[in-house]
Amino acid sequence: MKNIVVLVSGGGTNLQALIDAEKSGEIKGGRITCVISSKEGAYALERAEKNGIKTVTLPRKHFSDNLAYSKALLRILDEQNADLIVYAGFMTILDRIVCDAYPNRMINVHPALIPSFCGKGFYGLHVHEAVLEKGVKLTGATVHFVTAECDAGPIILQKAVEVHQDDTPEILQKRVMEDAEWKILPKAVSLFCEGRIKVVDEKSYIDL
């Protein structure tokens, strides 16, 4: 069984999707052993506690810079014997020492079809605002490995979602979460835990 550590900062609906998938047996070969939040009082922590999952709060604001924060986080990840680290709405930028310590073992869910609407400044609702501003007709979600470059690691899974003319950023965010993020994140986590993803030349391939 692989130890899955989930990093959160907010509401934790993606964490909930992972918890539900683990309960229903959709995640094969892994279990969520710890949830770490970069924000005190994040609702995601309550979701973990309700399900008997160990939680750690490591507030970003208690640290002077990214490097100090990343070193502290790395210590916890090592203590937890993490096999897989999942960014599930984790909004804190980390120093590269973290992804260098866990190469191709950290995955992130991003609420758009990378390489569109990603990188610095594209997070949470801002992504959906930018999508509506541009007027694209399709958006979606991407699960990818985390590398030192923001939102640029090997893509594991993507799912497209239609943009409607009368969408608000909030309505679009909800559709992207329900129709894409909550589906592809548990799927990617299971594929990883089953050992079915390999990365060659910065591209990922799935054993079908």
Candidate list 181, 184, 186, 192; residue touching ligand GAR; CB under 6 A: 181
Specify the residue, 64 or 118, whose C-beta has the smaller distance to ligand GAR.
118
Question: Where does residue 133 rank: exposed (0-12), middle (13-18), buried (19+ CB within 10 A)?
Answer: exposed
Does residue 80 interact with ligand GAR by CB under 6 A?
Answer: no
Q: Which two tokens stand for residue 98?
A: 């973290």
Q: Are 148 and 100 in contact (CB under 8 A)?
A: yes
User: Which residues are identified as catalytic?
Assistant: 110
| Three-state secondary structure readout of 53-94 | CEEEECCHHHCCCHHHHHHHHHHHHHHCCCCEEEECCCCCCC
Q: Which two tokens stand for residue 126?
A: 């801002």
How many residues contact ligand GAR, by CB under 6 A? 16
In whole angstroms, how close is the CB of 164 to ligand GAR at the nearest point?
Answer: 18
Q: Measured between alpha carbons, how far is 48 from 12 in angstroms, rounded to an integer? A: 9
Specify the residue, 3 or 13, whose C-beta has the smaller distance to ligand GAR.
13
Specify the residue, 82 or 127, whose C-beta has the smaller distance to ligand GAR.
127
Does residue 29 interact with ligand GAR by CB under 6 A?
Answer: no
The stretch near ligand GAR (CB under 6 A) out of 4-12, 31-39, 51-59, 154-162 is 4-12
Does residue 35 interact with ligand GAR by CB under 6 A?
Answer: no
- Position with the least CB separation from ligand GAR: 89
Candidate list 5, 109, 113, 197; residue touching ligand GAR; CB under 6 A: 109
Q: Measured between alpha carbons, how far is 49 from 88 in angstroms, rounded to an integer? A: 16
Q: Measured between alpha carbons, how far is 16 from 124 in angstroms, rounded to an integer? A: 17
Binding site for ligand GAR (CB under 6 A): 10-14, 44, 88-89, 109-111, 123-124, 127, 177, 181
